[in-house]
Structure 1
Amino acid sequence: MLVKLNKIQISCIRRIALITAFFLSIGTTAMSAHAHTPHDMVYAFAASPNYASDKTMFLVTDGAYTGWRYNEILRSTDGGLNWVDIPNGMNHPYEYSVLRVSPKFNTDQTVFAGLKGKGGIYRSTSRGDFWESYNTGLAASNLIVRKMEVAESSTGYVLFFTDANGALFRRSSTDANWIQVLDKTNKVTVIAISPDYATDNTLVIASDSGYLQISTNSGNDWTELGNPTGTIIYDMAIAPGGAAEIFLATPSFGIFYSSDGGSTFINKGNNLPNEALNNIAVSPNYATDRTVFCTSLKQSVFKSTNKGDNWVLFDSGAQVTKQTALLNEMTDLQVSRTYATDKTIFLPVFDGLFFSSNGGTTWKQRQTRRGLMTGLAASSNFNSDQKMIATTYVGRGIAISADGGSTWSTSGWPNPKGHKLNFFDSDIVQNPNGTQTVVSARNGFVGNSTDFGDSWSVKFVPRFTAINPDLVTFTTLAASPNFTNDKEIYLGSRFHGVLHTKDFGKTWRLQRGVPLNHPVTSIAVSPDYANDRTAFAANRAGQIWRTQDGGDTFLRVGASSIISIGWGGQRYTWVAVSPQFATDNLVIAGTNNGIYRSTDGGTTWTKETHASVGSNAVVQQVEFSPNFGTDRNIFINVRGKGLFRANLNGGGAVTASQNITLSLLENENIQFTEFQTSPTYAVDSTILGAARKNIYKSTNGGLTWAVAGFPDN
């Protein structure tokens, strides 16, 4: 068990702040001097209780694609030098609120993840290699996890959590169900568990108004301690030694300390700043070193070696990014359970992961997110030329491969100063004469190339100051199949909805029907666009929009029949159009609540219920086979489950499916962030999948996979 308790979080503020933060982190000029690019904010963290020997940590950060995808849990087993994604079984669309590791992790390998948005708790008994729901006994109204702490018991662990309503629940390693120990009238917001819980069975809780209660029998009975601070409480910690000494961190009056189990408290704060203190943590070796750590809203880390009587600031280097609410900046502070040996302190905050291995005297930052791949496309002649193009965020920018992804080179996009460029998507169009045009975009610019990226014609996309004064930041794009003649491109953005040009960037128009306050996650253009003038856009609010007049108007479709779940900003949606659209009018939508199909061009929608993929699958991407007219296959990337190849009947319904990346997920923790099928799939059966560190390639329709390289290697 780690000696740490997070501060109070106000979820509605935090959710807005987290999305805003990614948007602001796009430009390097907005980053602090200490922040990494891409920004590797930490939303939740836990370290192994055996950190001195196993160097194992878990954290939650933005996904390996871009910030408008789902968060991911990462694991490091070398002290944070390297990180792997551990998604297997995390088949939900929710954000994470907390991570905790079993005190007996060395033997039980157990990790817990608490979720927001009615996801409850997930548990792994394999160091995170596989996760499963751990919610037996909880009602739907109890599945928003605000706080969670784990204690060591004589038989294993005891887990406590408080839900969004303020009720407190308990479950031990031998229990089959969760048990409610306090109802919602207690408004629990902070939990502190005694380091000696295995013998004293003690925990303390604080309400949203600062009132304390203590239990010495595992939460079965409670004694009220009143409100000793006269204000709310951001954090609490119990020192080793029979739960006699308790520390409170408050927003107004510094640190409060009790030496008699909470009966009385005194104020301590010599040399602490005159601002809110939001984290406090106690050394596991407190009986001999009397050491306590804390942070304020703007400064970290303060250390006391005399039970909090005096404090010294040891600058961690963590900065206030101003990209989130101030209360969400210095979000966490934890002390290694093996502190007596390794002297390690963890500071997982919005600015990143900081740690000290000498008791807080000096600090280092670990990078958890590196160059991200944001787009992948294969040549329309892939079977013969093996050409691929990839876009990256903080890397090569646009990378080109001529050998199926084994080796990569930087494209010829103009970059006279040699900056690392951030690109967000590419599209390849087969021209009538057999040549190809590549279209790509970065913040404020769009370009096209007729020599597969060696040289580019680049256009500046003007600012729309009435909407946002900054450069237009793109998320996705799709060019007209007839681009060589009509020069049309649809681009999805973060703040500007859908943009459309009909003359390759000379003029632009905003599709004002599409909301501006939700990132566009997918755009698909009809293969018969020259005749039907149809295109679709999907966004993170779970909405699909359609134009049937070449972008003159966009109208929402499926508003009453496509039902996403969870918070409105987490309803990631994908849309794909059949290669046979001119005759079958088939459109597929992937949502965080399964697959929907339309057989009338998007006017009406039906939910897919076939059990093989899952009616409630969290779909990250769906694509038609380029050979759909013959093989009737679509490919569906499902969060926490893998990539499925599904067969559709004449009405567009799934008749069977196969998980073609199950072995990658189970054996290597590989979940694709994006995949593409070769345009010449009918001949080469090639599928390309991008993961955190590699591109994988299958040349037999997904039966087997091999590493093909990575653009930034």
Structure 2
Amino acid sequence: MFAKKILPLFILITFAILNTPATFAQSLNTKALNEAVSGLELRSIGPALMGGRIADIAVNPNDQSTWYIAVGSGGLWKTTNRGITWKPVFDDQPSYSIGTVTLDPKNPDIVWVGTGENVSGRHVAWGDGIYRSTNGGSTWQQMGLEQSEHIGKILVDPRDSNTLFVAAEGPLWSSGGQRGVYKTKDGGKTWQQVLKVDANTGVTDIEFDPSNPDILYAAAYQRRRHTWSLLAGGPKSGIYKSTDNGESWQQMKTGLPKGDMGKIGLAVTPSNPEVVYATIEANDKEKGFYRSMDKGESWEKRNSYISGGTGPHYYQELEASPTNPNLVYQMDVFLHVTRDGGKTINYLGTGREKHSDNHALWIDPEDGEHLIAGTDGGLYETFDEGTTWRLFPNLPISQFYKLGLDNAEPFYNIVGGAQDLGTLIGPSRTLNTEGVRNQDWYVPLGADGYESVFDPKDPNIVYMEIQQGLLHRLD
């Protein structure tokens, strides 16, 4: 009986409290606070000294001073002076994760971007489809395929700028979505799914025959990530070919693995359009580097090498020389190269001349020793085919997992664990007129940074973690 009397009283008191002038004032204060915060502008404090994960590179063929850099977790960046200065050109769009960037070969001011990274790590973000700019990245228009989530590559038909093909990987953590090869004949207004495998299988790579764009090759990839594991591959992965500009497709099987396959990278070369290369994740007996000498109709295994590290799902891209049909580079922890069509594959140099974990490579069509590489640690350029590299330390694109703050005065400091860049420490402000500079940051611990905090009583003590929760202390 007591409980029955108390409950209505409690409800009445609660209602009265929630409707007091103080509560009403609190709602007004929230509105005022939101208005005040909206006037605060975000300011960049870096760091740019270590870069971040690069997903793709596009260079204007008519003006090699203009580059576009697709960043896995940092949008799209443009330079018009070969990397001396950069401008973010995609920050106003809903997606910050970029999988690929492509320039229209007839008009390089038309830029196509596929959002959602084309790797399958736990830390990757998804996208919301295809975007197009007709003015070199100044403005953008969303062009569909919003449910693709991860885009592997975009091809523009060199004969007709309105005809494009998209390799859509589809959602990583679920089935369905938009996955397969999509084609447009009207510049992206409408899309047709021209290659559909199933609800769990997308397409991670696609290439034109360099001598005949009616012929295309596509790499299907069956994969699914769960909280406990990545199912990287299955019976639906494989290589497909079209001879009618993508209207119909046939799976290629002669000489290819008979068991389940995982991620496949493709490469072609204008120096010999008969040649097609593939790096194929499969079982230990069948995995490796494959070559076709008849436009993909039959294949020969040349080598058992595939990309390693955290798994082929994180690499497996191929880039073939446009002038030497036997020269092919493979993205991996360290860049690999074959100079004899895959018979032998070795590190490019020692592999340690620059940051590891390579995802993108541009080969200068006029100078094969001039390469631009995209890694987990930023953008690099070489003029001697990898003997020496220079880093571009002016791209603030590091991917941070966790941040910690101290109580230092007059300016507090920040410690952050970054993807593949270790742990970085820097100030929130400085007394320099230039603001916070690269030289104001330092890296006390390498590997992959994770949780990092300052000691609440002594800011000179910092606790930092790397892979597998290994704890370190900085004093």
- TM range, smaller chain: 0.5 to 0.7
Equivalent residue letter for 1:498: V
Distance in 2 (CA, whole Å) between partners of 1:394 and 1:691 is 13
Shift of 1:412: 5.4
What is the CA-CA distance between 1:387 and the residue it aligns to? 2.0
What is the CA deviation profile of residues 630-672 of structure 1, one whole-angstrom value per residue up to 9, with x for unaligned ones? xx421123x45x2223223xxxx4465552252417xx6x323
C-alpha deviation, 1:617, in angstroms: 5.8
Corresponding position: 1:476 with 2:157: no
Tell me the equivalent position of 2:86: 408
Who is 1:57 aligned against?
A: none
CA distance in 2, matches of 1:413, 1:445: 15
Does residue 1:553 correspond to 2:248, yes or no? yes
2:61 pairs with 1:380: yes
Q: Which residue of 2 aligns with 1:501?
A: 184
Aligned to 1:488: 164
Deviation for aligned residue 1:447:
2.4
Q: Which residue of 1 aligns with 2:386?
A: 702
**1:492–1:523: 8 Å Cα contact kept in structure 2?**
no
Secondary structure at 2:352's aligned position in 1? helix
Q: CA deviation at 1:500?
A: 1.9
Partner of 1:578: 269
1:603 shift after superposition: 1.1
Residue 413 of structure 1 deviates from its aligned partner by 7.0
Matched, 1:675 2:378: no
Q: Deviations over 1:661-697 (max 9, x none)?
A: 52417xx6x323312223x333363212222222121
Percent identity reads 18
SS of the aligned residue for 1:444 comes to coil
Read off the aligned partner of 1:429 and give its amino acid letter. Answer: D
Q: 1:623 is matched with which residue: 285, 309, 319? A: 319
TM-score under structure 2 length normalisation? 0.57
Output aligned runs, 1:127-142, within 5 Å: none
Letter in 2 for 1:422: S
CA shift for structure 1 position 404: 2.9
Partner of 1:461: 145
Distance 2:61 2:369 in 1: 14
Distance (Å, rounded) in 2 between the aligned partners of 1:539 and 1:606: 20
- The answer to whether the 8 Å contact 1:375/1:390 transfers is yes
Report whether the alignment pairs 1:596 with 2:310: no
Provide TM-score, normalisation by structure 1: 0.39
Write out per-residue CA displacement over residues 124-164 of structure 1, whole angstroms, 9 at most, x where no aligned residue: xxxxxxxxxxxxxxxxxxxxxxxxxxxxxxxxxxxxxxxxx
Distance apart, 1:615 and its partner CA? 4.5
Q: 1:456 to 1:624 in 2, by over 3 A?
A: same
Q: Secondary structure at the match of 2:204?
A: strand
Q: What CA distance in whole angstroms lies between the structure 2 residues aligned with 1:390 and 1:547? A: 30
Q: Does 1:534 align with 2:209?
A: no
Q: CA deviation at 1:436?
A: 4.9
Q: 1:514 aligns with which of 172, 178, 197?
A: 197
RMSD: 3.2
| Distance in 1 of aligned mates of 2:320 and 2:150 | 24
1:577-633 per-position Cα deviation (integer Å, ceiling 9, x unaligned):
22245xx41110012321101111111110004xxxx5566562211112236xx42
* One-letter amino acid matched to 1:476: G
- 2:132 maps to 448
CA deviation map 1:533-581 (0-9, x unaligned): 43423425341122211121122113x632288xx5x822111122245
Question: Deviations for 1:16-69, whole angstroms, at most 9, x for unmatched residues?
Answer: xxxxxxxxxxxxxxxxxxxxxxxxxxxxxxxxxxxxxxxxxxxxxxxxxxxxxx
Matches within 5 A, 1:185-334: none
Structure 1 residues 399 and 616: CA distance shift in structure 2, 3 A:
closer
Alignment match of 1:692 (pick from 348, 352, 376) = 376
The equivalent of 2:70 in structure 1 is 391
Deviations 1:391-416 (A, max 9, x none): 23442x2111223334321115753x
The one-letter code matched in structure 1 to 2:264 is: T
Structure 2's unaligned 5+ residue stretches are 1-46, 116-126, 171-176, 223-232, 282-286, 398-475
Whole-angstrom distance in 2 between the partners of 1:378 and 1:578: 18
For residues 608 and 689 of structure 1, what CA distance do their matches in structure 2 show? Answer: 25
Partner Cα distance (1:662, 1:411) in 2: 35
Structure 1 residue identity aligned to 2:256: I
| Counterpart-to-counterpart distance in 2, 1:552 and 1:562 | 24
For structure 1, the residue ranges without an aligned partner over 5 or more in a row are 1-81, 86-369, 463-470
Distance of 2:393 and 2:256 partners within structure 1: 38
Given residue 249 of structure 2, which amino acid in structure 1 is its aligned partner?
Answer: F
Contact 2:129 2:149 in 1 (8 A): no
Task: Rate the CA distance shift 1:436–1:585 in 2: closer, same or farther, 3 A.
Answer: farther
* Pair 1:438 & 2:111 matched: yes
Corresponding residue number in structure 1 for 2:470: none
Q: Distance in 1 between matches of 2:85 and 2:358?
A: 20
1:512 positional shift: 4.4
Q: Are the equivalent residues in 1 in contact too, given 2:382–2:388 (CA < 8 A)?
A: yes
C-alpha contact (below 8 Å) 2:337/2:347 kept by paired residues: yes
- Could you tell me which amino acid in structure 2 is paired with residue 579 of structure 1? P
Letter in 2 for 1:491: A
User: Are residues 676 and 563 of structure 1, via their aligned partners in 2, closer, same or farther at CA, if it must alter by over 3 Å?
Assistant: same
CA gap of 1:522–1:426, structure 2 versus 1, over 3 A, is same
Partners of 1:420 and 1:407 in 2: CA distance: 23
Taking a change above 3 Å as real, the CA distance of residues 483 and 473 of structure 1, as seen in their structure-2 partners, is farther
Q: Is the 8 A contact 1:588 1:596 kept in 2?
A: yes
Give the equivalent residue in structure 1 for 2:350: 662
Alpha-carbon distance in 1 for matches of 2:209, 2:169: 20
Question: 8 Å contact 1:375–1:674 — kept in the other structure?
Answer: yes
Q: In the aligned structure 1, how far is the partner of 2:306 from the partner of 2:376?
A: 25
**SS at 1:575 equivalent:** strand
Q: Which amino acid aligns with 1:499?
A: Y
- The equivalent residue for 2:29 is none
| Counterpart selection for 1:647 from 317, 328, 339 | 339
Instruction: Report Cα offsets for 1:169-221 as digits up to 9, x if no partner.
Output: xxxxxxxxxxxxxxxxxxxxxxxxxxxxxxxxxxxxxxxxxxxxxxxxxxxxx
| SS of 1:390 mapped into structure 2 | strand
User: What amino acid sits opposite 1:439 in the alignment?
Assistant: W
Judge conservation of contact 2:166–2:183 (CA < 8 Å) in 1.
yes
Go from structure 1 to structure 2 and tell me whether the alpha carbon gap of 1:711 and 1:514 turns closer, same or farther (over 3 Å shift).
Answer: farther
CA offset at residue 488 of structure 1? 1.8
Maintained 8 Å contact 1:478/1:524: no
Name the count of aligned residue pairs: 307
Using a 3 Å threshold, how does the CA distance of structure 1 residues 406 and 657 change in structure 2: closer, same or farther?
farther
